[in-house]
Amino acid sequence: MKSPLEKEVLAKVRPTDEEICQVCAVAARIIDEVDKSGLAEGMVVGSVARDTWVRGDRDLDIFMLFPPDLSREDLEHEGLALAYRVFTALGARAHEKYAEHPYLNATLEGLDVDLVPCYRVASGYEIRSAVDRTPFHTRYVKAHIGDYRDDVLLLKQFAISGGVYGSDQMTGGFSGYLCELLVIHYGGFPRVIQAASRWRPGTVIAVEAEGNREFHEPLIVIDPVDPGRNVAAALSLTRMADFVELCRGYLTAPKEAFFLSPAPPGITRDMVEDIIRDRGTALYALVFMTPPYIEEVVVPQLKRSEASLASLFTRHGFHLTRADSKMNGIRSMVLVELESGSAPRVRRHRGPPVWNLENAEKFLAKYLGPDASSVFAGPYNEEGVYIVEVPRAYTDAGSLLASPEVMGVGLGKHIRIALEGGWEVLKDEECVIPGFEEFVRDFLGKSSPLVKVIRGVQ
Protein backbone atom coordinates (compact mmCIF):
# COMPACT_ATOMS: atom_id res chain seq x y z
CA MET A 1 0.00 0.00 0.00
CA LYS A 2 1.49 3.30 -1.10
CA SER A 3 1.48 6.30 1.20
CA PRO A 4 -0.29 9.50 0.09
CA LEU A 5 3.11 11.06 -0.58
CA GLU A 6 4.23 8.14 -2.74
CA LYS A 7 0.96 8.26 -4.69
CA GLU A 8 1.45 11.96 -5.37
CA VAL A 9 5.01 11.35 -6.56
CA LEU A 10 3.97 8.45 -8.80
CA ALA A 11 1.36 10.62 -10.47
CA LYS A 12 4.18 12.98 -11.47
CA VAL A 13 6.85 10.46 -12.52
CA ARG A 14 4.87 7.78 -14.38
CA PRO A 15 5.25 8.17 -18.15
CA THR A 16 2.27 9.79 -19.83
CA ASP A 17 0.11 7.82 -22.27
CA GLU A 18 1.50 9.98 -25.06
CA GLU A 19 5.09 9.12 -24.11
CA ILE A 20 4.31 5.42 -23.92
CA CYS A 21 2.64 5.41 -27.33
CA GLN A 22 5.52 7.27 -28.94
CA VAL A 23 8.26 5.08 -27.46
CA CYS A 24 6.41 1.87 -28.30
CA ALA A 25 5.78 3.01 -31.87
CA VAL A 26 9.43 3.93 -32.47
CA ALA A 27 10.61 0.67 -30.90
CA ALA A 28 8.21 -1.35 -33.07
CA ARG A 29 9.49 0.31 -36.25
CA ILE A 30 13.11 -0.44 -35.34
CA ILE A 31 12.38 -4.03 -34.35
CA ASP A 32 10.54 -4.57 -37.62
CA GLU A 33 13.53 -3.31 -39.64
CA VAL A 34 15.93 -5.55 -37.72
CA ASP A 35 13.74 -8.66 -37.96
CA LYS A 36 12.98 -8.39 -41.66
CA SER A 37 16.70 -8.32 -42.42
CA GLY A 38 16.83 -12.01 -41.54
CA LEU A 39 20.28 -11.46 -40.01
CA ALA A 40 19.38 -10.86 -36.39
CA GLU A 41 16.47 -10.72 -33.96
CA GLY A 42 15.50 -7.35 -32.54
CA MET A 43 14.80 -7.00 -28.81
CA VAL A 44 13.88 -3.99 -26.70
CA VAL A 45 15.90 -4.05 -23.47
CA GLY A 46 16.36 -1.77 -20.48
CA SER A 47 13.73 0.12 -18.55
CA VAL A 48 11.42 0.57 -21.55
CA ALA A 49 11.15 -3.20 -22.00
CA ARG A 50 10.59 -3.67 -18.28
CA ASP A 51 8.11 -0.80 -17.97
CA THR A 52 10.22 0.81 -15.25
CA TRP A 53 11.14 4.10 -16.92
CA VAL A 54 10.32 7.47 -15.44
CA ARG A 55 8.58 10.35 -17.16
CA GLY A 56 10.88 12.34 -19.42
CA ASP A 57 13.37 9.50 -19.93
CA ARG A 58 14.15 9.68 -23.65
CA ASP A 59 16.49 6.68 -23.88
CA LEU A 60 15.59 3.62 -25.95
CA ASP A 61 17.90 0.59 -26.07
CA ILE A 62 17.41 -2.07 -28.74
CA PHE A 63 19.64 -5.08 -29.13
CA MET A 64 20.21 -7.06 -32.31
CA LEU A 65 20.72 -10.72 -31.37
CA PHE A 66 23.03 -12.49 -33.84
CA PRO A 67 23.75 -16.27 -34.06
CA PRO A 68 26.43 -17.36 -31.56
CA ASP A 69 28.53 -19.06 -34.26
CA LEU A 70 29.39 -15.67 -35.74
CA SER A 71 32.97 -14.59 -35.12
CA ARG A 72 33.60 -11.53 -32.98
CA GLU A 73 34.96 -9.67 -35.97
CA ASP A 74 31.88 -10.54 -38.06
CA LEU A 75 29.58 -9.54 -35.19
CA GLU A 76 31.09 -6.06 -35.15
CA HIS A 77 31.11 -5.73 -38.94
CA GLU A 78 27.63 -7.14 -39.61
CA GLY A 79 26.18 -5.50 -36.51
CA LEU A 80 27.29 -2.03 -37.50
CA ALA A 81 26.27 -2.56 -41.14
CA LEU A 82 22.76 -3.65 -40.13
CA ALA A 83 22.40 -0.83 -37.62
CA TYR A 84 23.35 1.73 -40.28
CA ARG A 85 20.78 0.21 -42.68
CA VAL A 86 18.06 0.33 -40.02
CA PHE A 87 18.66 3.95 -39.09
CA THR A 88 18.99 4.98 -42.74
CA ALA A 89 15.67 3.30 -43.54
CA LEU A 90 14.06 5.27 -40.70
CA GLY A 91 15.60 8.57 -41.80
CA ALA A 92 17.93 8.95 -38.81
CA ARG A 93 21.58 9.99 -38.90
CA ALA A 94 23.68 7.71 -36.70
CA HIS A 95 27.14 7.84 -35.19
CA GLU A 96 29.31 5.14 -33.70
CA LYS A 97 29.88 4.74 -29.99
CA TYR A 98 32.09 2.21 -28.24
CA ALA A 99 31.68 -0.11 -25.28
CA GLU A 100 33.20 -3.59 -25.47
CA HIS A 101 32.50 -3.36 -29.19
CA PRO A 102 31.09 -0.59 -31.38
CA TYR A 103 27.38 0.18 -31.68
CA LEU A 104 25.26 2.95 -33.18
CA ASN A 105 23.45 5.85 -31.57
CA ALA A 106 20.91 8.11 -33.20
CA THR A 107 18.11 10.51 -32.38
CA LEU A 108 14.75 9.37 -33.68
CA GLU A 109 11.60 11.40 -33.00
CA GLY A 110 13.31 13.01 -30.03
CA LEU A 111 14.41 9.69 -28.53
CA ASP A 112 18.05 8.82 -27.87
CA VAL A 113 18.30 5.37 -29.47
CA ASP A 114 21.12 2.86 -29.06
CA LEU A 115 21.19 -0.06 -31.50
CA VAL A 116 23.57 -2.68 -30.13
CA PRO A 117 24.72 -6.00 -31.64
CA CYS A 118 25.14 -8.99 -29.31
CA TYR A 119 25.09 -12.77 -29.37
CA ARG A 120 21.91 -14.82 -28.96
CA VAL A 121 23.18 -17.25 -26.29
CA ALA A 122 21.18 -19.78 -24.30
CA SER A 123 22.09 -18.63 -20.77
CA GLY A 124 24.06 -16.08 -18.80
CA TYR A 125 26.82 -18.63 -18.34
CA GLU A 126 27.47 -18.69 -22.11
CA ILE A 127 27.94 -14.98 -22.73
CA ARG A 128 30.69 -14.08 -25.17
CA SER A 129 30.66 -10.31 -24.61
CA ALA A 130 29.53 -8.12 -21.72
CA VAL A 131 26.44 -6.87 -23.55
CA ASP A 132 25.18 -10.44 -24.00
CA ARG A 133 23.96 -10.32 -20.39
CA THR A 134 21.51 -7.50 -21.02
CA PRO A 135 18.74 -9.58 -22.67
CA PHE A 136 18.91 -11.94 -19.68
CA HIS A 137 18.62 -8.98 -17.30
CA THR A 138 15.49 -7.87 -19.14
CA ARG A 139 13.95 -11.34 -19.04
CA TYR A 140 14.79 -11.80 -15.36
CA VAL A 141 13.26 -8.51 -14.26
CA LYS A 142 10.12 -9.00 -16.35
CA ALA A 143 9.67 -12.45 -14.81
CA HIS A 144 10.15 -11.26 -11.21
CA ILE A 145 8.97 -7.65 -11.07
CA GLY A 146 5.35 -8.57 -10.35
CA ASP A 147 3.48 -5.62 -8.86
CA TYR A 148 6.65 -3.70 -7.98
CA ARG A 149 6.95 -1.52 -11.08
CA ASP A 150 5.73 1.55 -9.22
CA ASP A 151 8.20 0.80 -6.42
CA VAL A 152 11.01 0.82 -8.98
CA LEU A 153 9.82 4.20 -10.27
CA LEU A 154 9.89 5.57 -6.73
CA LEU A 155 13.39 4.22 -6.07
CA LYS A 156 14.74 5.50 -9.37
CA GLN A 157 13.25 8.95 -8.86
CA PHE A 158 14.56 8.98 -5.27
CA ALA A 159 18.06 8.20 -6.58
CA ILE A 160 17.79 10.68 -9.48
CA SER A 161 16.73 13.53 -7.22
CA GLY A 162 19.46 12.64 -4.73
CA GLY A 163 22.14 12.75 -7.42
CA VAL A 164 23.12 9.08 -6.98
CA TYR A 165 21.50 7.62 -10.09
CA GLY A 166 23.69 6.55 -12.98
CA SER A 167 26.39 3.90 -13.20
CA ASP A 168 28.54 6.03 -15.50
CA GLN A 169 32.11 6.79 -14.49
CA MET A 170 31.44 10.41 -13.53
CA THR A 171 28.48 9.56 -11.27
CA GLY A 172 29.49 6.20 -9.79
CA GLY A 173 25.92 5.62 -8.70
CA PHE A 174 22.98 3.22 -9.06
CA SER A 175 22.07 1.67 -12.39
CA GLY A 176 18.46 1.05 -13.34
CA TYR A 177 19.01 -2.70 -13.15
CA LEU A 178 20.44 -2.37 -9.65
CA CYS A 179 17.35 -0.41 -8.54
CA GLU A 180 15.11 -3.11 -9.99
CA LEU A 181 16.97 -5.92 -8.24
CA LEU A 182 16.90 -4.11 -4.91
CA VAL A 183 13.13 -3.67 -5.14
CA ILE A 184 12.65 -7.33 -6.11
CA HIS A 185 14.98 -8.58 -3.37
CA TYR A 186 13.62 -6.49 -0.49
CA GLY A 187 9.99 -6.47 -1.61
CA GLY A 188 9.15 -2.88 -2.47
CA PHE A 189 10.40 0.68 -2.13
CA PRO A 190 9.79 1.17 1.63
CA ARG A 191 11.72 -1.98 2.49
CA VAL A 192 14.64 -0.93 0.30
CA ILE A 193 14.82 2.38 2.15
CA GLN A 194 14.62 0.69 5.55
CA ALA A 195 17.29 -1.87 4.70
CA ALA A 196 19.63 0.60 3.00
CA SER A 197 19.54 2.93 5.99
CA ARG A 198 21.53 0.23 7.80
CA TRP A 199 23.97 -0.68 5.02
CA ARG A 200 27.67 -0.67 5.75
CA PRO A 201 30.62 -1.09 3.38
CA GLY A 202 30.94 -4.75 2.49
CA THR A 203 27.18 -5.43 2.51
CA VAL A 204 26.40 -8.47 0.35
CA ILE A 205 23.02 -9.05 -1.30
CA ALA A 206 22.45 -12.39 -3.03
CA VAL A 207 19.27 -12.01 -5.07
CA GLU A 208 19.32 -15.67 -6.14
CA ALA A 209 22.54 -17.50 -5.31
CA GLU A 210 25.84 -16.61 -3.64
CA GLY A 211 28.56 -15.26 -5.89
CA ASN A 212 31.13 -17.61 -7.30
CA ARG A 213 34.09 -15.30 -6.74
CA GLU A 214 35.32 -12.75 -4.19
CA PHE A 215 34.25 -9.12 -4.53
CA HIS A 216 35.77 -6.05 -2.90
CA GLU A 217 33.40 -3.19 -3.78
CA PRO A 218 31.51 -1.23 -1.06
CA LEU A 219 28.16 -2.84 -1.98
CA ILE A 220 27.93 -6.31 -3.50
CA VAL A 221 24.76 -7.37 -5.31
CA ILE A 222 25.22 -10.74 -7.00
CA ASP A 223 23.83 -10.77 -10.53
CA PRO A 224 21.09 -13.45 -10.63
CA VAL A 225 21.90 -14.25 -14.26
CA ASP A 226 25.69 -14.27 -13.77
CA PRO A 227 26.94 -15.05 -10.23
CA GLY A 228 30.44 -13.97 -11.24
CA ARG A 229 29.36 -10.36 -11.55
CA ASN A 230 28.62 -7.65 -8.99
CA VAL A 231 25.73 -5.51 -10.26
CA ALA A 232 26.82 -2.72 -7.88
CA ALA A 233 30.45 -2.71 -9.03
CA ALA A 234 30.16 0.85 -10.37
CA LEU A 235 28.77 2.22 -7.09
CA SER A 236 31.39 4.30 -5.31
CA LEU A 237 31.72 4.45 -1.54
CA THR A 238 30.76 8.14 -1.62
CA ARG A 239 27.53 7.51 -3.56
CA MET A 240 26.70 4.56 -1.33
CA ALA A 241 27.12 6.75 1.76
CA ASP A 242 25.03 9.51 0.15
CA PHE A 243 22.24 7.01 -0.47
CA VAL A 244 22.37 5.62 3.08
CA GLU A 245 22.15 9.16 4.45
CA LEU A 246 19.22 9.98 2.15
CA CYS A 247 17.37 6.86 3.30
CA ARG A 248 17.85 7.80 6.96
CA GLY A 249 16.61 11.30 6.27
CA TYR A 250 13.56 10.04 4.40
CA LEU A 251 12.62 7.64 7.20
CA THR A 252 12.88 10.51 9.69
CA ALA A 253 10.91 13.10 7.71
CA PRO A 254 9.53 11.92 4.33
CA LYS A 255 8.64 14.71 1.93
CA GLU A 256 8.34 15.37 -1.78
CA ALA A 257 11.74 17.09 -1.94
CA PHE A 258 13.38 13.64 -1.73
CA PHE A 259 11.84 12.84 -5.12
CA LEU A 260 11.27 16.14 -6.86
CA SER A 261 13.90 18.62 -5.82
CA PRO A 262 13.49 22.32 -6.62
CA ALA A 263 15.30 23.71 -9.63
CA PRO A 264 18.88 24.52 -8.68
CA PRO A 265 19.85 28.18 -8.55
CA GLY A 266 22.01 29.55 -11.30
CA ILE A 267 25.46 31.02 -10.81
CA THR A 268 27.17 34.01 -12.39
CA ARG A 269 30.72 35.27 -12.49
CA ASP A 270 29.80 38.06 -10.08
CA MET A 271 28.47 35.47 -7.63
CA VAL A 272 31.66 33.41 -7.86
CA GLU A 273 33.75 36.53 -7.34
CA ASP A 274 31.82 37.26 -4.12
CA ILE A 275 32.08 33.64 -2.94
CA ILE A 276 35.83 33.49 -3.50
CA ARG A 277 36.28 36.81 -1.70
CA ASP A 278 34.31 35.50 1.28
CA ARG A 279 36.21 32.22 1.35
CA GLY A 280 39.56 33.95 1.04
CA THR A 281 40.83 31.31 -1.37
CA ALA A 282 41.90 31.08 -5.00
CA LEU A 283 40.09 29.03 -7.63
CA TYR A 284 41.88 27.73 -10.73
CA ALA A 285 40.67 25.72 -13.70
CA LEU A 286 42.65 23.87 -16.33
CA VAL A 287 40.48 23.46 -19.44
CA PHE A 288 41.26 21.37 -22.52
CA MET A 289 39.59 19.50 -25.36
CA THR A 290 37.96 16.23 -24.27
CA PRO A 291 39.73 13.20 -25.80
CA PRO A 292 37.54 11.48 -28.45
CA TYR A 293 36.90 8.33 -26.43
CA ILE A 294 34.02 6.97 -24.37
CA GLU A 295 33.54 8.08 -20.79
CA GLU A 296 34.68 4.72 -19.41
CA VAL A 297 38.11 5.41 -20.95
CA VAL A 298 38.42 9.15 -20.33
CA VAL A 299 37.07 9.55 -16.79
CA PRO A 300 39.59 7.28 -14.96
CA GLN A 301 42.40 9.10 -16.76
CA LEU A 302 40.86 12.44 -15.91
CA LYS A 303 40.66 11.51 -12.23
CA ARG A 304 44.27 10.31 -12.26
CA SER A 305 45.36 13.58 -13.88
CA GLU A 306 43.35 15.55 -11.31
CA ALA A 307 45.21 13.81 -8.47
CA SER A 308 48.56 14.41 -10.15
CA LEU A 309 47.87 18.12 -10.63
CA ALA A 310 46.80 18.41 -6.99
CA SER A 311 50.11 16.85 -5.98
CA LEU A 312 51.97 19.26 -8.27
CA PHE A 313 50.55 22.22 -6.35
CA THR A 314 51.44 20.63 -3.03
CA ARG A 315 55.02 19.95 -4.12
CA HIS A 316 55.43 23.60 -5.06
CA GLY A 317 54.19 24.86 -1.70
CA PHE A 318 50.56 25.68 -2.48
CA HIS A 319 48.06 24.40 0.06
CA LEU A 320 45.16 22.58 -1.53
CA THR A 321 41.59 22.91 -0.25
CA ARG A 322 39.86 20.63 -2.74
CA ALA A 323 40.02 19.43 -6.36
CA ASP A 324 37.52 17.92 -8.77
CA SER A 325 37.14 17.31 -12.50
CA LYS A 326 34.42 17.18 -15.12
CA MET A 327 34.19 16.16 -18.76
CA ASN A 328 31.56 16.98 -21.33
CA GLY A 329 31.37 16.20 -25.01
CA ILE A 330 33.63 19.06 -26.06
CA ARG A 331 35.83 20.20 -23.17
CA SER A 332 37.05 18.90 -19.85
CA MET A 333 37.96 20.82 -16.71
CA VAL A 334 40.12 20.18 -13.65
CA LEU A 335 39.06 22.58 -10.89
CA VAL A 336 41.34 23.30 -7.94
CA GLU A 337 40.81 25.50 -4.90
CA LEU A 338 43.91 26.68 -3.03
CA GLU A 339 44.21 28.43 0.31
CA SER A 340 46.16 31.08 -1.57
CA GLY A 341 47.16 31.63 -5.16
CA SER A 342 50.59 32.85 -4.13
CA ALA A 343 53.43 31.30 -2.18
CA PRO A 344 56.45 32.96 -0.49
CA ARG A 345 59.57 33.46 -2.53
CA VAL A 346 61.66 31.37 -0.14
CA ARG A 347 61.33 27.62 0.29
CA ARG A 348 63.12 25.11 2.49
CA HIS A 349 64.97 22.34 0.70
CA ARG A 350 66.07 19.29 2.66
CA GLY A 351 69.41 17.75 1.83
CA PRO A 352 71.14 14.55 2.97
CA PRO A 353 72.11 13.64 6.55
CA VAL A 354 75.40 15.19 7.65
CA TRP A 355 76.94 11.75 8.20
CA ASN A 356 76.17 10.61 4.67
CA LEU A 357 79.63 11.74 3.63
CA GLU A 358 79.46 11.39 -0.16
CA ASN A 359 76.06 13.04 -0.59
CA ALA A 360 76.78 15.67 2.08
CA GLU A 361 79.89 16.79 0.23
CA LYS A 362 77.99 17.02 -3.07
CA PHE A 363 75.23 19.04 -1.40
CA LEU A 364 77.69 21.52 0.13
CA ALA A 365 79.61 21.82 -3.12
CA LYS A 366 76.42 22.60 -5.03
CA TYR A 367 75.17 25.35 -2.73
CA LEU A 368 78.61 26.81 -1.96
CA GLY A 369 79.53 26.76 -5.64
CA PRO A 370 77.40 27.34 -8.77
CA ASP A 371 74.11 27.83 -6.89
CA ALA A 372 75.51 29.93 -4.04
CA SER A 373 74.13 33.21 -5.40
CA SER A 374 70.53 31.93 -5.13
CA VAL A 375 70.79 30.85 -1.51
CA PHE A 376 68.82 32.88 1.07
CA ALA A 377 70.15 30.92 4.06
CA GLY A 378 72.22 27.81 4.65
CA PRO A 379 73.31 25.23 4.16
CA TYR A 380 72.82 24.42 7.84
CA ASN A 381 71.98 21.26 9.67
CA GLU A 382 68.78 20.67 11.54
CA GLU A 383 68.78 17.55 13.71
CA GLY A 384 71.49 16.08 11.55
CA VAL A 385 69.96 16.91 8.17
CA TYR A 386 71.21 19.63 5.84
CA ILE A 387 68.72 22.41 5.04
CA VAL A 388 69.06 25.19 2.50
CA GLU A 389 66.65 28.06 1.89
CA VAL A 390 66.38 28.89 -1.81
CA PRO A 391 64.02 30.71 -4.22
CA ARG A 392 60.80 28.97 -5.18
CA ALA A 393 60.41 28.21 -8.90
CA TYR A 394 56.80 29.42 -8.98
CA THR A 395 55.26 31.87 -6.56
CA ASP A 396 52.01 32.19 -8.54
CA ALA A 397 49.70 29.17 -8.87
CA GLY A 398 48.37 30.28 -12.24
CA SER A 399 51.89 30.46 -13.66
CA LEU A 400 52.58 26.95 -12.39
CA LEU A 401 49.39 25.64 -14.00
CA ALA A 402 50.35 27.28 -17.31
CA SER A 403 53.92 25.96 -17.21
CA PRO A 404 55.51 22.88 -18.83
CA GLU A 405 55.52 21.35 -15.33
CA VAL A 406 51.97 20.19 -16.07
CA MET A 407 53.20 17.81 -18.76
CA GLY A 408 55.66 16.29 -16.30
CA VAL A 409 53.07 14.86 -13.91
CA GLY A 410 51.30 11.50 -14.06
CA LEU A 411 48.68 12.20 -16.70
CA GLY A 412 46.45 9.63 -18.35
CA LYS A 413 47.56 8.69 -21.86
CA HIS A 414 44.68 10.36 -23.71
CA ILE A 415 44.68 13.37 -21.38
CA ARG A 416 48.36 13.92 -22.16
CA ILE A 417 47.67 13.81 -25.90
CA ALA A 418 44.83 16.29 -25.47
CA LEU A 419 47.05 18.65 -23.44
CA GLU A 420 49.70 18.55 -26.15
CA GLY A 421 47.20 20.51 -28.20
CA GLY A 422 47.20 23.20 -25.53
CA TRP A 423 45.16 24.14 -22.50
CA GLU A 424 43.60 27.20 -20.92
CA VAL A 425 44.12 28.43 -17.35
CA LEU A 426 41.23 30.27 -15.70
CA LYS A 427 41.09 31.94 -12.28
CA ASP A 428 38.24 32.64 -9.87
CA GLU A 429 35.13 33.97 -11.68
CA GLU A 430 36.71 33.16 -15.07
CA CYS A 431 36.04 29.48 -14.27
CA VAL A 432 32.32 30.02 -14.98
CA ILE A 433 32.23 29.06 -18.67
CA PRO A 434 29.47 27.47 -20.79
CA GLY A 435 28.96 23.82 -19.96
CA PHE A 436 30.54 24.05 -16.52
CA GLU A 437 28.30 26.49 -14.64
CA GLU A 438 26.62 23.76 -12.56
CA PHE A 439 29.96 22.06 -11.92
CA VAL A 440 31.49 25.25 -10.50
CA ARG A 441 28.34 26.00 -8.50
CA ASP A 442 28.26 22.52 -6.96
CA PHE A 443 31.99 22.62 -6.26
CA LEU A 444 31.79 25.85 -4.28
CA GLY A 445 28.55 24.94 -2.53
CA LYS A 446 29.39 21.30 -1.92
CA SER A 447 26.88 19.58 0.38
CA SER A 448 25.65 16.03 0.79
CA PRO A 449 22.32 15.22 -0.95
CA LEU A 450 20.47 15.03 2.39
CA VAL A 451 21.80 18.42 3.50
CA LYS A 452 20.53 19.87 0.21
CA VAL A 453 17.07 18.44 0.89
CA ILE A 454 17.07 19.84 4.42
CA ARG A 455 18.15 23.26 3.17
CA GLY A 456 15.68 23.13 0.31
CA VAL A 457 18.29 23.55 -2.42
CA GLN A 458 19.97 21.34 -5.00
CATH value at residue 231: 1.10.1410.30
Quote the pLDDT of residue 261.
82
Asked if residue 230 belongs to a domain, the reply is yes
Asked if residue 143 belongs to a domain, the reply is no
Alpha carbons 239 and 245: distance in angstroms, whole number: 10
Residue 212 has pLDDT above 70, yes or no: no
Residue 96 has pLDDT above 90, yes or no: no
Alpha carbons 235 and 172: distance in angstroms, whole number: 5
Average pLDDT over residues 53-68: 91
pTM of the model: 0.86
Structural domain that includes position 440: 269-342+395-449
Q: Are residues 387 and 316 in the same domain?
A: no
Residue 302 has pLDDT above 80, yes or no: yes
Looking at 258, 280, 298, which one is the last position of a domain? 258
Asked if residue 141 belongs to a domain, the reply is no
Q: Are 231 and 177 in contact (CB under 8 A)?
A: yes
The amino acid at 174: F
Q: Are residues 76 and 119 in the same domain?
A: yes
Looking at 131, 166, 192, which one is the last position of a domain? 131
Which three-class secondary structure state does DSSP give residue 326?
strand
Q: Are residues 282 and 368 in the same domain?
A: no
Tens of pLDDT, residues 10-19: 999 999 999 9
Asked if residue 315 belongs to a domain, the reply is yes
Looking at 258, 284, 304, which one is the last position of a domain? 258
Alpha carbons 124 and 450: distance in angstroms, whole number: 38
Q: Are residues 437 and 334 in the same domain?
A: yes
Give the CATH number of the domain where residue 64 resides. 3.30.460.10
Q: Write down the mean pLDDT value for the chain.
A: 90
- Counted domains in the chain: 4
Q: Are residues 121 and 51 in the same domain?
A: yes
Q: Are residues 219 and 295 in the same domain?
A: no
Q: Which of 178-182, 265-269, 361-365, 442-446 has the highest mean pLDDT?
A: 178-182
Q: Are residues 178 and 201 in the same domain?
A: yes
Q: Are residues 325 and 357 in the same domain?
A: no
Q: Are 254 and 260 in contact (CB under 8 A)?
A: no
Single out the residue of 304, 370, 312 nearest to residue 343, CA to CA: 312
Quote the pLDDT of residue 117.
92
Q: Are residues 401 and 293 in the same domain?
A: yes
Asked if residue 380 belongs to a domain, the reply is yes
Q: Are residues 153 and 234 in the same domain?
A: yes
Tens of pLDDT, residues 111-141: 999 999 988 888 767 778 888 888 899 999 9
Q: Are residues 37 and 54 in the same domain?
A: yes
Q: Are 337 and 320 in contact (CB under 8 A)?
A: yes
Q: Categorize the per-residue pLDDT at 337 as very low, low, confident or very high, splitting at 50, 70 and 90.
A: very high
Q: Are residues 315 and 440 in the same domain?
A: yes
Quote the pLDDT of residue 458.
52
Q: How far is CA 6 from the centre of its chain?
A: 29
